[in-house]
């Protein structure tokens, strides 16, 4: 019986690692998918900032061209003002000059706002470009690390599965069924060590009579609290496991 218990303890150790590796394997695709999210968010922000920058630059160029036209008209009006022969010509030229100056002033106010915005956006796009590059670089390193880890996990799962099969062949059929039954209902842990009379998984103190029986190592017993198979872990027989 002691040999069967030792087998179960070894099987449990393998199954515990297998359980963790399988959890890790399940989590990897989601972690990989998450990796691109930040870079994608930065890319969207960057596209938006670039589009606005383009629009602001275009409006600025338009206004500058409009101002050129106004200045040409102003120069002509000033010439007409100088060479005006009649009051009417003089007033007309004067009015056109006033109008042109007002338009220039209003355009210049808008131009100033556009230039400030353009400067802001240029700063923003270069910051976003830097961030995007850094985040993409990080993500690609992390992707490589995770992909390698996935291969490692897969290999380790295969190795431990073979080891598990070898151990299972040696365990008594009914005991193995019992073990698997409990394991599936108890978060992967079916075997619990007892130290100082206490179940190390559920932390319940065994009744003294049961602990005495357990120390005889002549049968497989269960924890009356968590239902797991228990063994006296302080016994010499388990010291090398």
Binding site for Zn ion (CB under 5 A): 199, 202, 223, 225-226
| Four-residue CA torsion sign, 66, 68, 71, 72 | negative
Comparison of 50 and 186: residue with beta carbon closer to Zn ion: 186
Comparison of 63 and 226: residue with beta carbon closer to Zn ion: 226
- The least CB distance from residue 197 to Zn ion, in Å, is 12
- The least CB distance from residue 222 to Zn ion, in Å, is 8
Comparison of 100 and 193: residue with beta carbon closer to Zn ion: 193
Classify strands 198-199 and 229-232 as parallel, antiparallel or unpaired: unpaired
- The least CB distance from residue 224 to Zn ion, in Å, is 8
- The least CB distance from residue 215 to Zn ion, in Å, is 17
CA distances from 209 to 50, 215, 240 (A): 78, 10, 27
Comparison of 107 and 210: residue with beta carbon closer to Zn ion: 210
- The least CB distance from residue 198 to Zn ion, in Å, is 9
- Cβ 98 vs Cβ 89: under 8 Å: no
Comparison of 73 and 186: residue with beta carbon closer to Zn ion: 186
Comparison of 13 and 226: residue with beta carbon closer to Zn ion: 226
SS (H, E, C) 156-200: HHHHHHHHHHHHHHHCCHHHHHHHHHHHHHCCCCCEEEEECCEEC
- The least CB distance from residue 192 to Zn ion, in Å, is 5
């Amino acid at each position: 019986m002691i040999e069967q218990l030792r087998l179960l303890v070894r099987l449990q150790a393998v199954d515990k690692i297998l359980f963790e590796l399988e959890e890790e394997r399940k989590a990897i695709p989601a972690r990989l998918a998450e990796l691109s999210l930040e870079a994608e968010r930065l890319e969207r922000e960057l596209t938006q900032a670039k589009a606005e920058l383009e629009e602001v630059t275009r409006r600025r160029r338009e206004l500058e061209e409009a101002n050129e036209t106004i200045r040409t008209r102003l120069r002509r009006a000033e010439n007409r003002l100088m060479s005006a022969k009649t009051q009417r010509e003089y007033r007309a030229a004067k009015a056109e000059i006033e109008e042109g100056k007002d338009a220039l002033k209003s355009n210049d106010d808008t131009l100033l706002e556009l230039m400030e915005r353009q400067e802001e956006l240029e700063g923003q796009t270069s910051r976003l470009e830097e961030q995007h590059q850094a985040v993409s670089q990080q993500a690609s390193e992390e992707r490589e690390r995770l992909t390698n880890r996935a291969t490692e996990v897969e290999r380790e799962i295969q190795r431990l599965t073979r080891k598990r099969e070898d151990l299972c062949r040696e365990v008594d059929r009914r005991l193995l069924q019992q073990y698997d039954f409990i394991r599936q209902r108890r978060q992967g842990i079916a075997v619990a060590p007892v130290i100082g009379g206490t179940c190390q998984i559920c932390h319940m103190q065994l009744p003294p009579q049961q602990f005495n029986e357990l120390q005889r190592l002549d049968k497989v017993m269960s924890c009356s609290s968590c239902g797991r198979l228990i063994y006296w872990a302080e016994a010499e027989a388990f010291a090398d496991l």
